[in-house]
């Protein structure tokens, strides 16, 4: 039977590595995050307040497009970052830090909530939980141009929202991959531990 797993987690948490390895190990098709396609991203990292709404509306549209494609795809899927965390973590953080005003937040939230009511959730969400310090080390190590200005407080704020979101999520099971405790990228036996956690939902 076809299955749909969403891999979620902070910037630098290691979710893309886990998504890729799980897809290979389980024989699932990988849907990658629409990161490079975003024409607003460079401006957004320069000036979040000016570009937040355009940036996040682009991501919402792309993630909805991917989500619908996944639902209609005949194969089992692993998705790298889902539509839900985009709204309930990243966009909420922009609002709380005053990069989105009340009207833009309400407009975004109204659209997102309407979408949320009408789409089928994943069979399981895997939350890659990583400390702020580890995320920052990974961001520094991969040295992406657009991420050079990311501040530690931004990552810490996102981590707090991820914790709240995953603790209160009810639409499907959530499995936590403890990235500070296990080295999923380099230790195959650690990846097998995660697969055993996921297996009951497949």
Q: What is the reported pTM?
A: 0.93
Mean of per-residue pLDDT scores for the chain? 94
So what's the pLDDT on residue 16?
A: 93
What pLDDT, in 10s, does the model give residues 3-31?
A: 999 999 999 999 999 999 999 999 999 99
Residue-level pLDDT at 145:
77
The predicted pLDDT at position 19 comes to 96
Instruction: Give the model confidence (pLDDT) of 130-163 as tens digits.
Output: 999 999 999 998 878 778 778 999 999 999 999 9
Element (H, E) at 28: none
Q: Which pair of structure tokens corresponds to residue 158? A: 């996102």
- 3-state SS, 59-93, equals HHHHHHHHHHHHHHCCCCEEEECCHHHHHHHHHHH
- CB of 5 closer than 8 Å to CB of 28: yes
Please check the confidence at residue 75 and state whether its pLDDT lies above 70: yes
The CATH superfamily label for domain 4-201 reads P-loop containing nucleotide triphosphate hydrolases (3.40.50.300)
Residues 111-137: pLDDT tens digits?
999 999 999 999 999 999 999 999 999
Q: In the chain, where are the structural domains located?
A: 4-201
Beta bridge partners of 126: 7, 175
**Residue 120 has what pLDDT?**
96
Check whether 36 has a pLDDT greater than 70: no
Helix (H, G, I), strand (E, B), or coil: what is residue 152?
helix
For the CA atoms of the chain, what is the radius of gyration? 16
């Amino acid at each position: 039977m076809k299955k749909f797993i969403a891999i979620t987690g902070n910037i630098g948490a290691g979710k893309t590595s886990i998504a890729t390895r799980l897809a290979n190990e389980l024989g699932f098709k990988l849907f990658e995050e629409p990161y490079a396609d975003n024409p607003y991203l460079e401006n957004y990292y320069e000036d979040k307040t000016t570009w937040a709404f355009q940036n996040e509306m682009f991501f919402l549209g792309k993630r909805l497009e991917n989500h619908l494609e996944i639902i209609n795809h005949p194969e089992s899927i692993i998705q790298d970052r889902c539509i839900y965390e985009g709204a309930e973590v990243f966009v909420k953080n922009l609002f709380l830090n005053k990069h989105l005003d009340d009207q833009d937040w309400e407009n975004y939230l109204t659209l997102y909530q309407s979408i949320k009511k009408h789409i089928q959730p994943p069979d399981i969400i895997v939350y890659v939980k990583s400390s702020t310090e580890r995320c920052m080390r990974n961001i520094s190590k991969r040295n992406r141009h657009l991420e050079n200005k990311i501040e530690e407080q931004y990552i810490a704020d996102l981590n707090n929202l991820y914790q709240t979101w995953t603790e209160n999520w009810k639409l499907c099971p959530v499995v936590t991959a403890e990235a500070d405790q296990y080295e999923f990228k380099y230790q195959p036996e650690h990846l097998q531990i995660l697969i055993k956690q996921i297996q009951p939902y497949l």
